[in-house]
Chain A
């Protein structure tokens, strides 16, 4: 009996100590690149989190543009003063995968399974969910709704429409409106969408071979090559050239800018799912994830607190709040089933296409040299679309230049 009492007392003492330790005040640093428009909404989420976990203080630090944030993270890796967590693109952290603190093992099976399917591979390292999605957008089709009654449903329809809508209105020999537009240098992911829809990929499944120029890749680039006469090519935001294009694929996050620009250009903006390709109607998901850093300057309590914040942000109501306020898309499946989101979609018709497209999304590969691969893709894709090189030559040249990156 006495032994039971002693064991019971010891157990209570241990639990009490653990509980006290768990609730000890802890401060975590969260570096982000959300500019002033998004900051109040992010702050609102953080305030709600801190209300639920009063012992945790989150220091939000705006680090400028994405490239500035990347630069700062790289410098902080060298200096050994990384924050507890940060917003990161996949290719920023694949080279420093070993210093990421896996979030997945601290989540329930239900939470892990709730993440939108297309987002899981790009957050999974060696089979472990390591980072989690945060602000995500999907490429959709924007179109001039005054010109296009029914958006194109297939590649063939897209081609026909692009050709029809390319016009020289004043007959001066210069095209005044192109059927479509692309930003190949700035957004090579546009090519990856066509590649994926054709059933292709940059590399094979185990990253031992470059497959970008196989049959699917050739189909994708030939299709894009056929669109060259009807494509307005720019490095600027497409919203700066709305009057010059009839339809284009672009990130859902740019909706507000595109809508304002379309209104200025004198037409109503339509949003649709992408036309179906030979293999699928997939689209590429873009945007950042949340990473927690497993580095000596961060205590276990800080890492645990950061994991709690990551899980909090994944909750259906929070990812819905963030999506409604920011223009990004919810990142969990249950979020799309909430009444709040359904009501939001019902009152914002453009969201129907975005939501449906998001669930058919795919993400970038996690190869450590993806950053360099992307540079090659953007350079060559731009050359192809500006007719500086032939479509197939450009594609083969992409493959040749990517190949050495597999062994580096």
Chain B
């Protein structure tokens, strides 16, 4: 009798614990989604409605025309093309260079490997803003300003990506390489046929972060381009703000359009994305 009672109380405790957990998760979910909700509703408000305090969560009338107005205020079609092109090519480039470099640092023996790797990691400590002007000068000398080269090539290497993959590659047993070598498999084929498939989650993590970083890049694109035809979506978003204020309703309409591709990408790669965040601790 006592044991049944304690069982019941245990189940009740478990239920209340779970309820509390769900309530906490729900609160967290609401907190996380609130800015997105505000973005969505603001995108269909009037200018005055967007600035109303306290915020107007559901506008009385939905102004869908904001999307058309925002789209027309800058050449967003071109911006989207550029964002896709630059993000995809730089992601492909970075994945390739990162895999090669990470493999070399993880599995190959060469003179000064550790020193070189330490120097490489050291470059992570230099703030990007400090390098902006020297990089601008370099790209000017190369004649790459206002060209896709300036937006893609300098971003085809990522020290963080190399570090991440190196750590992953190091966990792959050397015996696999010994076996492959006995079977006559050259190192290149071993890398692409064995190491990379085994490291798929890590490689996808690198690719996802690269794509996101590239899609959201603002300052670099603004600095390295002069013509509208070379600019990307984040630069387009900046046109809704000035020194004296921001047209929030239009900015939010444009922002909704800007995050759509990222949302679609997220839906397709949710699992890897979450694994990536769990693996790196980066959001």
Contact = CB atoms under 8 A, between A and B. Distances in A.
Given A64-B238, A72-B223, A260 B247 contact: no
B125 interface: no
B204 to A, nearest CB: 33
A171 interface: no
Given A72-B222, A263-B48, A264-B53, A65 B136 contact: no
A79 B48 contact: no
Contacts of A75: 132-133, 136-137, 223
Given A63-B222, A265-B53, A257 B235 contact: no
Interface in A97-147: 137
A254 B244 contact: yes
Contact of A81 (B47, B74, B145, B244): B145
Given A65-B241, A71-B223, A78 B137 contact: yes
A251 interface: yes
Nearest to A80: B140
A37 B240 CA distance: 7
A79 B136 contact: yes
Contacts of A332: none
Contacts of B228: 62
Contacts of B141: 79
B243 interface: yes
B171 interface: no
B73 interface: yes
A239 B245 contact: yes
A257 B48 CA distance: 9
Interface in B230-263: 235, 238-245, 247
Nearest to B241: A35
Interface residues of A, number: 42
Given A36-B74, A71-B132, A78-B137, A261 B242 contact: no
User: Which of B53, B73, B141 has the largest count of A CB atoms less than 10 A from its CB?
Assistant: B53
B160 to A, nearest CB: 24
Given A79-B137, A264-B52, A37 B242 contact: yes
A325 interface: no
Interface in B199-248: 219, 222-223, 226-228, 235, 238-245, 247
A65 B243 contact: yes
B226 A29 contact: yes
Interface of B: 47-48, 51-53, 73-74, 132-133, 136-137, 140-141, 145, 219, 222-223, 226-228, 235, 238-245, 247
11 contacts: A37-B242, A62-B239, A63-B222, A65-B238, A79-B137, A79-B140, A81-B145, A240-B53, A242-B53, A257-B245, A265-B53
A127 to B, nearest CB: 30
B53 A35 contact: no
A326 to B, nearest CB: 10
A260 B238 contact: no
B53 to A, nearest CB: 6
A66 B222 CA distance: 12
Contacts of B132: 71, 75
Contact of A243 (B53, B73, B74): B53
Contacts of A35: 238-242
Interface in A239-264: 239-243, 251, 253-254, 256-257, 260-261, 263-264
A68 interface: yes
A264 B51 contact: yes
A260 B74 contact: no
A-B pairs, top 8 by smallest CB distance, nearest first, are A257-B245, A79-B140, A36-B239, A75-B136, A36-B73, A35-B242, A254-B244, A79-B137
A92 to B, nearest CB: 14
A261 B140 contact: no
A36 B240 contact: yes
Contacts of B47: 260
B48 A37 contact: no
A64 B222 contact: yes
A34 B223 CA distance: 16
Contacts of A39: 239
A237 B245 contact: yes
A61 interface: yes
Contacts of A72: 222-223
Nearest to B145: A81
Nearest to B136: A75
Contacts of A68: 219, 222-223, 238
Contacts of A38: 242
A264 B238 contact: no
User: Which of A33, A68, A80 has the largest count of B CB atoms less than 10 A from its CB?
Assistant: A68
B226 A61 contact: yes
A37 B247 contact: yes
A61 B51 CA distance: 29
B188 to A, nearest CB: 39
Nearest to B141: A79
A52 B73 CA distance: 27
A27 interface: no
Contacts of B238: 35, 64-65, 68
A251 B244 contact: yes
Contact of A78 (B52, B133, B240): B133
A57 interface: no
Contacts of A263: 48
B167 to A, nearest CB: 35
A327 B53 CA distance: 24
Contacts of A256: 245
A74 interface: yes
A29 B136 CA distance: 18
Contacts of B145: 81
Nearest to B49: A264
Nearest to B221: A64
A34 B73 CA distance: 13
B276 to A, nearest CB: 31
Contacts of A61: 226-227
Contacts of B244: 137, 237, 251, 253-254, 257, 327
B279 to A, nearest CB: 34
A243 B54 CA distance: 10
